[in-house]
Amino acid sequence: MTPDDYAEIAKRLDRLARVPDEVLAEVVTREGLCFWMFDRDEMPDLSGKDAPDRELASWMCAGCPVIDECLELELRTAGDHTVGVWGALAETDRRAVHRLWRWRRDRGGAR
Ligand code: SF4
């Protein structure tokens, strides 16, 4: 992924800035593919291994209807300490998005 990709993702999430945490959590747990297609607890722990993490994210989240909501919620709750696969991104990619997402929110980019 490129810096432009990260910036575009952060910008895309602006539309969710005013959605309460509990609404995001409810939507993600109800509609997220990984919450009903398979058991996340049975997946291998690939945190810290970037390439496999990206492959897993690509495979696991393909077709999920709540990718943005999942990513928004993870950025809010875990922030820069995010690990594993959420929002169709590997943790290193999510941390890069988080910096730009935080910057936008701090400057009212969501308005
Ligand atoms: S985006 Fe990925 S991690 Fe998030 S709910 Fe969908 S399948 Fe699960």
Q: What is the pLDDT of residues 41-70, one digit of tens each?
A: 666 555 555 556 788 888 889 999 999 999
28 lines ligand 1 (CB under 6 A): yes
- Global pTM reads 0.86
For ligand 1, whether the C-beta of 73 sits within 6 Å is no
Report the C-alpha gap between 40 and 52 in whole angstroms.
16
Mean per-residue pLDDT over the chain, rounded: 87
Q: Are 88 and 64 in contact (CB under 8 A)?
A: yes
Listed residue (54, 43, 44, 91) closest to 71, CA to CA: 91
**From ligand 1's centre to the CA of 21, what distance in Å?**
16
**Alpha helices by DSSP H, the chain:** 3-12, 21-31, 50-61, 67-77, 91-106
**In the structure encoding, which two tokens stand for residue 107, read together?**
């400057």
Residue 9 pLDDT greater than 60, yes or no:
yes
CA of 40 to the centre of ligand 1 (A): 10
Atom of ligand 1 lying closest to residue 70 CA: 4
